[in-house]
Amino acid sequence: MSRAPLIVEEQVVAELRELRLPGISKVFREVGRQARQEGWTQEEYLLELLQQESRSRLDHVAQRRIREAGFPSQKTLDQFDFGAQPEVSRDRLIRLARCEWVKACQAVLLVGPVGTGKTHLGIALGMEAAQRRHRVKFWRAEELVRLLTEARGQGEVTKLMKKLDRYEVLILDELGFIPFDRTGAELLFNVLAGRYQRRATVISSNLAFSEWGRVFGEEKLTAALLDRLGERAEVVSTSGSSYRMRRQEENR
């Protein structure tokens, strides 16, 4: 089979488009050159192309998952200054970045004062999960409670709960900044209790567990929730003063 190389190349591109293999489309010329130079077998060449396609698909899915998560900004573990948080173990976070807690449907609780990196860590863990193709959603607790309350008003709370249930990781940020009313507290409780042992959840809060009763308004509800969450949760405690304030003071 000897055809003009350029015509073959055009046909390859057309077939790849038809078969929706854009990853191979991008690289096959370069991979072909490398294969010739290094004397790869045809099978090695084929394998490399297929792997490139898989990789590019994974990237696409990961990008979509990150987009869908609705992070307020993109923060990564690499950007986290562990030196500023001696109580937060880098090894532990690296372990959590492997996302076994997602598969085990555990909760991660990030607890500590304002400005100490809880949201940063929550987003970073969410990004790791999204990169592993897990469905992730980020909400400020107050926002989700508002959404739930609205849905309830419109008789659509079951629909919203079902939608939330599809997320393998739900990140609830800043629980405790603003107390909920009774309805809001109950709705949020139902979401969290429903995820227990079925889905992973990340919660960040500037309140100590003993203060959660204030947010949920009801001690019994809170005790039940903490019982469930706490049982198998990974608790990461941040401490000290606000990272930014500290940096500003250092720079003065």
The residue ranges that bind Mg ion (CB under 5 A) are: 119
Q: Which does 116 bind (CB under 5 to 8 A by kind): ligand ADP, Mg ion, none?
A: ligand ADP
Residue type, 219: E
252 part of the interface to ligand ADP, by CB under 6 A: no
- How many helices (DSSP H) and strands (DSSP E) are in the chain? 12, 5
62 part of the interface to ligand ADP, by CB under 6 A: no
Report CA 46 to chain centroid distance, whole Å. Answer: 33
Residue given tokens 């940063």 in the structure block = 120
Query: Which one among 65, 75, 140, 199 touches ligand ADP, defined by CB under 6 A?
Result: 75
What is the sign, positive or negative, of the torsion defined by CA atoms of 100, 102, 104, 109?
A: positive
233 part of the interface to ligand ADP, by CB under 6 A: no
25 part of the interface to ligand ADP, by CB under 6 A: no
* Per-residue binding letters, 84-103, with ligand ADP (x by CB under 6 A): xx------------------
Residue given tokens 């897990």 in the structure block = 134
From the list 54, 44, 25, the residue with the least C-alpha distance to 36 is: 44
119 part of the interface to ligand ADP, by CB under 6 A: yes
40-48, 57-65, 76-84, 222-230 -> range binding ligand ADP (CB under 6 A): 76-84
The interaxial angle of helices 42-69 and 22-38, nearest 10 deg, is 150
Q: Which two tokens stand for residue 151?
A: 């849905």
Q: Footprint of ligand ADP on this chain (CB under 6 A)?
A: 75, 79-81, 84-85, 112, 114-120, 204, 243-244
